[in-house]
Amino acid sequence: MTASKTLAIQTALAGDWEGAIKINEQLLEENPHDIETMNRLAFAWSSIGNIKKARLVYQQVLDIDEHNPIATRNIKRLNGSDGKQYTSVAPLSFTNLFIEEPGRTKVVDLINLADKKTLTMLRSGEKVELQTKRMKIFVISQQKHFIGMLPDDLGKRLIKLIEAGNLYETFIKSSQENKVVIFIRETKRVSKFKNQPSFITLEKTKFTFKTIRDEDNEPAGHLDQEN
């Protein structure tokens, strides 16, 4: 991989979409039929809200490779659920998106990350999904691509809360070549855990919550002080 291509990927991972557009356009001047560069360019255009240009570049990819999965998938994504063809959409708004609330939100570094190509397609503010499997929580894109996993201790805690009925929404906060940070927000707390936060910081408290455990003899919201 050339230094310019590496820079193009790093720029996209940092969320510098204007910079990514400039670098990828320069690469295409050298090689107009570089499909990977064209896909990166189209994604950058879509990330700043210019759907018309994004769709045009994806179509150019399909003119070269009619079965290209990235271009095919993203053209479908750029079409609204009502089937209309949109020429532009507003860029992602980050206003109030990442405001932290003690006990209700958490910033998490993912582990066991996907390949770099998948990470390159992520953008800050993109909504993702939490998926439970084999007592672990996987983070999945809206296109159903694996992104990474929650650390085991947090995953096990959230699994019990989710199974009880708690609901969460999750967004990409930042994405770099070897690091993906997500933002999780509790959106619903069941009455059983009404006094129990979803997230605790052990450095700031000496309490653990027994209600997470499978102990039928403990009342909801009971605190067990650590020694």
Q: Give the model confidence (pLDDT) of 101-125 as tens digits.
A: 899 999 999 999 999 878 877 877 7
Helices 3-13 and 17-30: crossing angle in degrees, nearest 10, is 160
C-beta atoms surrounding 145 within 10 Å? 16
What are phi and psi for residue 135, nearest 5 degrees? 60, 25
| Paired tokens of 97 | 């998106």
Pick the closest to residue 106 from 174, 166, 161, 185 (CA basis): 185
**pLDDT band with cut points at 50, 70 and 90 for residue 22:** very high
- Residue 124, CA atoms < 13 Å, CB-side half-sphere: 19
Given a cut of 90, is residue 131 above it in pLDDT?
Answer: yes
Q: Decide: 82 and 176 in contact? Cβ < 8 Å.
A: no
Output 80 or 200, whichever has higher pLDDT: 200
Name the DSSP class of 111: B
* Cα distance between residue 64 and residue 34, in whole Å: 10
pLDDT at 205: 43
pLDDT at 1: 59
Name the DSSP class of 202: G
Query: Under the phi-then-psi rule, with left for phi > 0, alpha for psi from -120 to 50, and beta for the rest, what region is 144?
Result: left
Domains of the chain (ranges; CATH) run 3-78 (1.25.40.10), 105-225 (3.30.70.2330)
Bridge partner list, 137: 132
pLDDT above 70 as % of the chain: 79
Which distant-in-sequence residues (6+ apart) come within 8 Å of 164 by Cβ?
190, 192, 193
